[in-house]
Amino acid sequence: MTTKFLVSIGLVVGLFAGGACGITKPASSTTSLGQDAAVAGTGGADGGTAGFAGAAGAGGNASADASVDTALVRVAWASINKQSAAWYATSEAAVLADNIIYYQNVDGGWPKNIDMTARAAAKDRSTIDNNATTTQMVYLSLVYGATKTSAYADAFNQGVDYLLEAQYPANGGWPQFYPTVTLAYQKHITYNDNAMVKVMTLLRDIGNKATKTQYSFVDDDRATKATAAVQAGIACILKTQIETNGVKSAWCAQHDEVTLAPANARAYELISNSGSEAAGVLQFLMAIDNPSAEVIDAVQSATAWFDKTQIKGIRVTEVADATQASGKDVVVVADPAAPPLWARFYDIATDVPFFCGRDGIKKATLAEIENERRTGYAWYGDWPAVVLKQYASTWQPKWAPGKSVLSVRTTTPDAGATN
């Protein structure tokens, strides 16, 4: 696998506020450097971004043109992979599949934050952020299974090739964007919003096509490469687990693609142990059958860290507040009966939660950052709760019998339960 990036001119307009960004129309175009027109393609008839997609996308499906009646698509974009098996054989499903091919870039990937039930939004560069590429691939596999339309299998396989090409050959990680980046952090190994975990989960299933028959149409060569990519990704996860004073803990939302060290992303996403993304990484590791000693150690260490850093006795709630421009606020209040929560970010050295606004300065409490960030980002959550239950009920008895790292908490860290 050869990995290269195309450094581009311009800024990303309208950086999205939260970890789960809304579906939006890209506000500007970006010109790529170092990529000739034959490779980059040209913007489609919709005025799409030059250098990202050809007029019909990478699939080359003749039916994937702007004349298709996209009004036939009534299913919500967020639910496209949750329909009945029979639905994927319908004309509505086929129109949506053609829309997805329309938005596929010539590199084989897809852009993010576009509701592809219609073709109103401009095309954009390929990414694995915010469920992009993996969502489209899963959908195409379902429609191909129901229709056997070769264009859908072809587009899916080009997506496989994109994911394999985007992986760093030196360390097994995946960047947030590939091949075109506009901001330095987009080259980082990206656990943020479970991007890398979702890629690895899909590739794992492709490699296991004998049992995951949804992907049985994938050729053996791609399936073998998918399995190898997952193994390289697991090695990357093990190498990036944070260690402080000889004790392993969790993972940052992103890691430097060269040094593998924890790395900053946006101004309010500083180097930290992540209470959110690390839970997704841990859950992936726990799904490995016959885990190696290294994987078992990583799971034990991360589980112990999550057990140690859970926050009891607080509740986080959204309230109406007419004094705020947003008309609302998010407050942290004491509640002895509340279930455990975890902070999004923990200081690596101290395990103390912190919060950060767009000024990039760490704050001790959520109340200290601006209302826009306070209400527009997931600062607390119960992300690891289901993973810890899985650990206690099935994983630990099977893979680490008699070695549970869970304990009964008797103290609560000061996480800023005042506003």
Is 130 catalytic? The answer is: yes
User: Catalytic: which of 61, 105, 130, 273?
Assistant: 130
Burial class (CB in 10 A: 0-12, 13-18, 19+), 416: buried
Cβ–Cβ < 8 Å for 183, 263? no
- Residue 317's contacts (CB-CB under 8 Å, 6 or more residues apart) are 330, 331, 333
CA terminus-to-terminus distance, the chain: 51
User: Catalytic: which of 119, 125, 266, 373?
Assistant: 266
Is 266 catalytic? The answer is: yes
- Active centre residues (catalytic): 130, 266
